[in-house]
A and B are shown apart, each in its own frame.
Chain A
Amino acid sequence: DTAVSQTPKYLVTQMGNDKSIKCEQNLGHDTMYWYKQDSKKFLKIMFSYNNKELIINETVPNRFSPKSPDKAHLNLHINSLELGDSAVYFCASSQDLVADTDTQYFGPGTRLTVL
């Protein structure tokens, strides 16, 4: 009964390729997020969606395009992958938008390696 799941867990690809990471939550939450964790473990928000609408876009390059087909899914598509995109990407969800009162639940992460 996984709460927030991501696929794949590991992704190794060549520069210039296009790839997608999928995220699903079965918690009935309205809000979903993508975070990027770099090699130094810095964790930074990329996007958040509430009821399938984009709420936060933290100056992420437009090669990154999130897609939310329904409230339970938030997929991340990356075009023209670059070496600097190598990182661990975490999906998360929360019941509502307000970060200071709503607990965010994280998926296990997808480690992306661009060669």
Chain B
Amino acid sequence: GNSVTQMEGPVTLSEEAFLTINCTYTATGYPSLFWYVQYPGEGLQLLLKATKADDKGSNKGFEATYRKETTSFHLEKGSVQVSDSAVYFCALSLDSSYKLIFGSGTRLLVRP
């Protein structure tokens, strides 16, 4: 079936450290891939997305590249801030599908 696997959290980093959150997927067909972020007490917000292989999504200093050969969409940021502390969800959807399939979420905690 179609699924998304994320690295277990929490991930704890110091401010200005480099961030990687791993995400791999299993899908029949060619999915679009997404990263959503959930700040404390809030709903999910779209962070970035990529709709085809080799596309790079980017927003607010975060980047992720759609790697078809490794079925991955890892999230990276060069220098994290305390305000980046949140739960990050990787997700996929398939062509003309009506739903998102989410990973289990990875909590990021950035310390000053």
Taking CB atoms, residues of chain A closer than 8 Å to B94 are: 100
Q: How many contacts between A and B, using CB within 8 angstroms?
A: 63
In the complex the two chains form, is B51's CB within 8 Å of A100's CB?
Answer: yes
Complex interface residues of chain A between 54 and 83 (CB less than 8 A to chain B): 55-56, 58
Q: Is the CB of A44 within 8 A of B102?
A: yes
Most chain B C-beta atoms within 10 Å of own C-beta, residue among A31, A40, A92, A101 = A101
Residues from chain B with Cβ under 8 Å of A42 in the complex? 102, 104-105
Q: Is B95 a contact of A100 with CB atoms below 8 Å?
A: yes
| B9 CB → nearest A CB, Å | 9
Candidates B42, B44, B93; contact of A99 at CB < 8 Å: B93
Chain A residues proximal to chain B, CB less than 8 Å: 4, 31, 33, 40-45, 48, 50, 55-56, 58, 90, 92, 97-101, 103-109
The 6 closest A-B pairs by CB, nearest first: A106-B43, A100-B32, A99-B93, A41-B105, A43-B102, A106-B44
